Structure 1
Amino acid sequence: MTRGERHPVDPMVEEAASLLYLLGGMGAKHLVLIGGLVPPLLVKEPRESHVGTSDLDICLSVAISQGATAEYYESIEELMTPYFEPTAGTSFRWRKRAGAPGLPILVDFLAPRGESAPRADGTHALSHDVAAHNAGPRLRPFALETQDLIELDALEREVDIELLYKPTPTRATVRFRHSGPLGLLVAKAFALNGRDDDKDGYDVAWFCLNLDRGPEEAVCQIAARPAFNHPLVPEALALLLRAFRGPEYPGPTGYANVRAHTHGENPDLHVRERFDAYQATRLVVDGLIKRIDWDKQANGGRS
């Protein structure tokens, strides 16, 4: 690529980067993109295109959600309100306002579950003054069971985009973080165990089917991630085994169901795609289970 040329940026990545830029220092330092936007960011040359996503999942850091940082930022809610509004009946899901720039997207805010139990609607209580200020009076993230693993496994990325929320055309190089391969698998493992959404099984299987260097190399790379000895990893892998126990289980079936929306109903193809999803995912999950250091796990993940 020569100077002045730019890679095309996926419209949803542009949406995410523009929003994180809008949120200022908090966006780069304390927010991590997770969910369905992530798999294509982890695979350089996929063999099949990813179906994409129409929503953004943003995870707040432990420091923000539990008030462990002394830093005060303009609240997320204050910065977003000109362009987004909360959806009816929720405090963690916000939608693009009519007439706002860009695509009509949804944004879900999530955060690692704290020591106290979530509220009745599953959201984080944010009882600490700093955490409550940085979110805003109405926004409350949905509680995740991932502890600090998402943040520990996060990867940095830079994109050059035209910012959406500027009165005049403005380009910027935006740095943001998204979940790494281990964080993706762990978050999706808990999602598969807690809700009935074909997209969760699809995202896991798509990632395993489209790995750049095959399952064995991927297992080596994921097992070398700094967070691999995190205490949550064995539980998450066990949940993935449950979801991908056989081709007819929720994980592979979710993958084949999502694929059917793109190419139409075909019973024979559905059976084949379920098996392919099962086989590819089990190669990765079984390989990772063999890599668990049980001595470190007994010591809380420490050497």
Structure 2
Amino acid sequence: MLVSVVSIQFGSAVGRTLFDDLGATGVVLLRVGISALVLALLVRPRLRSWPRAAWRAACLLGVSVAGLNLLSALAMRTVPLGVVVTVSFLGPLTVALVQTRRLLDLLWALLAGAGVALLWWHPGPSVPLGGLGLAALAGACGAGYILLTARVGGLVPGVGGLPVSLTVATLVALPFGATGASAVVSDPALLLGAGSVALLQTIFPYVLELLALRRIPTRVFGILASLNPAAAAIAGLLVLDQHLTSISLAALTLVTLASAGATASHAAAGSEPAARPRR
């Protein structure tokens, strides 16, 4: 699970290095497209047996996946990776918190809210409010991803819904990223870069998390997933040379603690923690 967290965030950082050549949305299009193709070959979903409700849920999930990735990429053009992941992580956290109405959940929500409030009130010169708004919208799509993933999982056996949803996400991203992605025609080496991002950010974590959930409780899984904002900050520093301000680091810490605390308390109460959105 720890390797998966690191892989996702370093994949995001590597993807950011391709923005100048492929554009933010072009990178998203190639990544989800390659991931859809590879997972379709690996999973081979039995589509003929799907009910209409499964198709509807899988298509809506694909729209959420596209929205999450497109909005995150657009935010990353102007906002450091660690900040984008911190703000967008509020979507999954909100889903987890609204599932119960205990006082402790309110305290976790206030802690996370305080972290994001720090970013909005003191964003710093390198963090425009417009970028923060895009990250927040990505978080809303992340919340939809969680709810729709649960819906698809209840309608489709195994993991057959994932390649279908990624295919839909590719179609949604196509009009936004086609122009940028076309750069691979004149420079095929860029396709290798996009493929590595697909491997690091989607395919590799998918396999690792599937193996992890067979070996560890969902409580532990959720707590480790809460390390994503911290891993994003480290990846942004090492790959992109993005130095976060003390305010950003404080906000990241508050959101991470709130997410880990909410996950642990929900597991103790007997409810399942929310999964984080696959980036």
Higher helix share: 2
TM-score, length-normalised on structure 2?
0.29
Q: Which has the higher contact order (CA 8 A, sep 6+)?
A: 2
TM-score, length-normalised on structure 1?
0.28
Higher strand share: 1
Highest Rg: 1 or 2? 1
